[in-house]
Chains A and B, each alone.
Chain A
Amino acid sequence: MSSNDVLGRGTGGDLRLAGLTKRFGSFTAVDHLDLTIPQGSFFALLGASGCGKTTTLRMVSGLEAPSEGRIFLGDDDVTERKPHRRPVNTVFQNYALFPHLDVYENVAFGLRRRGIKDVKQQVADMLDLVELGHLARRRPSQLSGGQQQRIALARALINQPQVLLLDEPLGALDLKLRRQMQIELKRIQTEVGLTFVHVTHDQEEAMTMADTIAVMNSGRIEQMGSPADLYENPGTTFVANFLGQSNLIPGTVEGVRGDVVTVTAHGQRLTLPADRCRTDTGAVILGVRPEKVRLAPAGSALPPGVNALAGGVVSDASFIGVSTQYLVRLPSGEELAVFEQNTGCEIQRPGTEVVVHWDPSQSFGLDGSQDIEAGADLDEESAA
């Protein structure tokens, strides 16, 4: 491809948002967003509905004009450019396939608009990539949801955009098909090597596909990093609750010795690595993921050096095959979730007294001034 064609497609480069803001009346949908998305990456904007992720995407595509801030593609400022002049294509949430055109013409649409005469080979290749070559002469209305989704992807991809935007592309598919398409999308992204920016409220979808996830909340980026990074070391209670499930225990920092922080919670001493603790004084929220926590019968000997909370009673145990999910009520009334892998150990009955314990290196510490419930209900809502 030429270094600078009709669309002002530069030599490529990162997508950079600088101070991007969008206000609708008095409501700020996107609030001074600064973000760099490296070329060739699979980037996910994750958040509950209304967090501003779709608005951000629409500003990148040009369908929405920012109230403030700039958008750069490589070195080009595309903020003022009309959507049809941007080297960016979108896979719309409802696919928005043209109902009056067949699959072939839908896919060829962008090429034809750019005045490319010989589209046959490219369209055929693209339909092969999404494995729908045999449906070229069908109308979109004759296709299943998953097929429409792949056509929408092909229609956007064929233009070799500098950035491909995906707006909840799998939202309308059933769970099984969604899993399959996640793998498919990831395969295609690896194959074509373009920058994918993927907007979703489904944390599992984001984790499966993206190299980098930005968790958005109220128009701002709450935290950004690799899926493992965000999951293992969340920076805020919102991320801890929204991305997976967390046990969050309010406590107080007792002191920092070397790279170990000591915390008291419910009158018991707990420790965690200093580099996993975001505060070194005062109120702290100590978190641990349910699958890292173990149960031991009350009074039994624990391995040395673990974090342990005694006096818990199993209030609920649900066996779900690969694991057993427990709720353990602590003397303080707080309930902890514990996922125990099904490795043949005995299931603890509700009412049993237990000690919960975990490896200190698995805990994380958050600033204690936050709302401990932030993001918790949102996840349930979007999972429904």
Chain B
Amino acid sequence: MSVSLQAPPAKSPVPQPPPAARRAGLLTPWILLLPGLLWLVVFFLVPILTSVGASVQTGNADQGYRLTWDWGNYGHGLSDYLPQYGHSLLYSVLCTVFCLLLGYPVAYCIAFRGGRFKSLLMALVVVPSFTSFLIRTIAWKTILSDNGPIVSVLNDLHVLNATTAMGWTVGNHVLASPAAVVFGMVYNFLPFMILPLYTSLEKIDPRLHEAGSDLYCDTFATWRRVTLPLSMPGVVGGTLLTFIPAVGDYINAQLLGNPNTGVVGQKIEDLFLRQTDGYPVGSAISVVLMAGTLILVLLYIRKAGTEDLI
């Protein structure tokens, strides 16, 4: 069937706006999109392409860099910094897991038991972020220091012997160890886990809990069969919001770790800011980090089956 755009105007039941207004109506979404698109192109797409370009260049700061399509930068980067990739992945996965284990009960309690204090409690979760990330992390140096309360308690309980044997702490210290790095990361990223968890838990109708217990679920079974599946969007959101920044984080490793806890972020910083010929390899390892994170996230989302979630 052919559609005539020139319908007889007299018979048109709905008065049409004048053509100029109609055109403006079609343009409006694009006009609204434009600032955001421009921002993304200039500050996201261009830098990424620049990084990819830089990763196949050769040269140094004095003589300048030339595009030589030297894919060897990737080989060097990967073989030289494999342990750091391993650390980044291990620490960020551990950080995400601990954040989930610590954050879920907090978000659950605030969402279902918070009553009129809900907003206040959520504000308290966020309040520490008003202090600089750096200062908060440095503060952990004091808390975890050898004469601090945590170390003395752990020492008294002989926990440190065990953790040292496993390689998580060093001697009788907590500071400057993998444990301290993960500690710091968990502390810093916990709000990013709690916020999306709280949002999805808070949306769950408490009457569904009653329906669960009416249909033979005890408290745990209700959580397992009703609450958990319904909070999966929050779990997926929270783990992504924690994992993605955690995998690139290097401040915690820098301040709370030791030379053996190096992560990729530290090496990228080092190559870019302290080496005279570091740009190509630095770019290569950051491109690998980005691509690797992207692949992991895609696999995870696929596995978590978010399309099945509410």
Give residues in A with beta carbon < 8 Å to B. 7, 61-63, 82-85, 88-90, 92, 94, 96-100, 109-110, 113-114, 155-156, 159
Told that A90-B214, A109-B215 touch, could you supply 17 new A-B pairs with CB distance under 8 A? A61-B214, A62-B213, A83-B214, A84-B213, A84-B214, A84-B218, A88-B214, A96-B205, A96-B210, A96-B211, A97-B211, A98-B208, A98-B226, A100-B226, A100-B229, A113-B216, A156-B214
Interface membership of B310, Cβ < 8 A: yes
A90 — which chain B residues lie within 8 A by C-beta? 210-211, 214
* B113 is an interface residue with CB less than 8 A from chain A: no
Q: For residue A155, which residues in chain B have a CB less than 8 angstroms away from its CB?
A: 215
Most buried by A among B210, B211, B217: B211
Q: By DSSP majority rule, is chain B's interface helix, strand, loop, or mixed?
A: helix
Type the 1/0 row for B192-226, where 1 means its CB is closer than 8 Å to any CB of A: 00000000000001011011011111100100011
Interfacial chain A residues near B207, Cβ < 8 Å: 92, 94, 96
Report the count of interface residues on B (CB-CB < 8 A).
18
Instruction: Tell me the complex Cα distance, A89–B211, Å.
Output: 9
Residue of A nearest to B213 (CB): A83
Query: A100 with B309: in contact, given A82-B218, A84-B218, A92-B207 (CB under 8 Å)?
Result: yes
**Roughly how many angstroms separate A85 CA and B219 CA in the complex, as a whole number?**
12
* A–B complex contacts, Cβ < 8 Å, 9 sampled: A82-B218, A83-B214, A84-B221, A85-B216, A94-B207, A109-B215, A110-B216, A113-B221, A155-B215
CB of A375 to closest CB in B, whole Å: 29
Q: Give CA–CA (A96, B205) in the complex, Å.
A: 8
Shortest CB distance A314–B (Å): 49
Residue numbers in A under 8 Å from B309 (CB-CB): 100
Q: Across the interface, do B215 and A89 meet the contact criterion of CB distance under 8 Å?
A: yes
Which A residues are in CB contact (< 8 Å) with B211? 90, 92, 96-98
Task: Give the chain B neighbours of A156 by CB distance below 8 A.
Answer: 214
Other-chain residue from B215, B229, B230 in contact with A113 (beta carbon distance below 8 A)? B215
**Would you give the shortest CB distance from A183 to chain B, in whole angstroms?**
26
Contact (A84, B310) CB under 8 Å given A63-B210, A96-B210 = no
In the docked arrangement, what's the CA distance between A89 and B217, Å? 12
For the complex formed, measure the closest distance between the CB of B151 and the CB atoms of chain A, giving whole angstroms: 45
Contact A114 B214 (CB under 8 A): no
The residue of chain B having its C-beta at the shortest distance from the C-beta of A139 within the complex is B310
A97: nearest chain-B partner, CB-CB? B211
Shortest Cβ distance from residue A66 to the other chain B in the assembled complex, whole angstroms: 17
**A367 CA to B229 CA in the complex, in Å?**
58
Min CB gap A291→B, angstroms: 41
CB pair A100–B213 under 8 Å, yes or no, is no
| CA–CA, A113 and B225, complex, Å | 10
Q: Is the CB of A89 within 8 A of B221?
A: no
Considering the complex, give the chain B residue whose CB is closest to the CB of A85. Answer: B216
The answer to whether B216 touches A84, judged by C-beta atoms less than 8 angstroms apart, is: yes
What CA separation (Å) do A88 and B221 show in the bound complex?
Answer: 18
Residues of B within 8 A of A110 (CB): 215-216
Residues of B within 8 A of A109 (CB): 215, 225
A residues less than 8 Å from B208 (CB atoms) = 96, 98-99
Q: How far is the CB of A265 from chain B (nearest CB, A)?
A: 50
What is the CB-to-nearest-CB distance from A58 to chain B, in angstroms, rounded to a whole number? 9
Contact (A99, B310) CB under 8 Å given A92-B207, A94-B207, A113-B221:
yes
Question: Are A92 and B217 interface neighbours, CB within 8 A?
Answer: no
Instruction: List CB contacts (< 8 Å) of B21-57 with chain A.
Output: none
The smallest beta-carbon distance between A208 and chain B, in angstroms, is: 26
Contact call B216/A92, Cβ cutoff below 8 A: no
A7 to B213, CA, bound (A): 13
Q: Which residue on A lies nearest to B230, using beta carbons?
A: A100
A262 CB → nearest B CB, Å: 55
Closest 3 CB pairs of A and B: A96-B211, A113-B216, A110-B215
A99 vs B309: C-alpha distance in the bound complex, in angstroms?
A: 10
CA distance A360 to B46 in the complex (A): 95
B window 268-286: CB within 8 A of A: none
Q: Report B-chain residues with C-beta under 8 Å of the C-beta of A88.
A: 214
Q: In the bound complex, how far is the Cα of B310 from the Cα of A85, in angstroms?
A: 30
State how many angstroms separate the Cβ of B226 from the closest Cβ of chain A: 6
A98 to B228, CA, bound (A): 12
Chain A, Cβ-Cβ closest to B214: A90
Nearest-neighbor residue (CB-CB) of B208 within chain A:
A96
A82 with B210: CB separation less than 8 A: no
Complex alpha-carbon distance, A116 and B207, angstroms? 25
Residues of chain B within 8 A (CB-CB) of A62 are 213
Partner of A84, one of B217, B226, B230: B217
Closest chain-A Cβ to B153's Cβ sits at a distance in Å of: 39
Smallest CB–CB gap between B229 and chain A, Å?
5
Indicate which residue in A7, A61, A63, A100 contacts B216 across the interface (CB closer than 8 Å). A7
CB distance from A175 to the nearest CB of B (A): 25
Residues of B near A114 (CB, < 8 A) are 216
Closest to B231 in A: A100
Nearest CB in chain A to that of B209: its residue: A96
For the complex, give the distance between the alpha carbons of A83 and B212 in Å: 9
List, in ascending order, chain B residues with CB within 8 A of A98's CB.
208, 211, 226
Q: Which residues of A contact B226 (CB under 8 A)?
A: 98, 100
CA distance A159 to B211 in the complex (A): 13
Q: Taking CB as reference atom, which chain A residue is nearest B218? A: A84
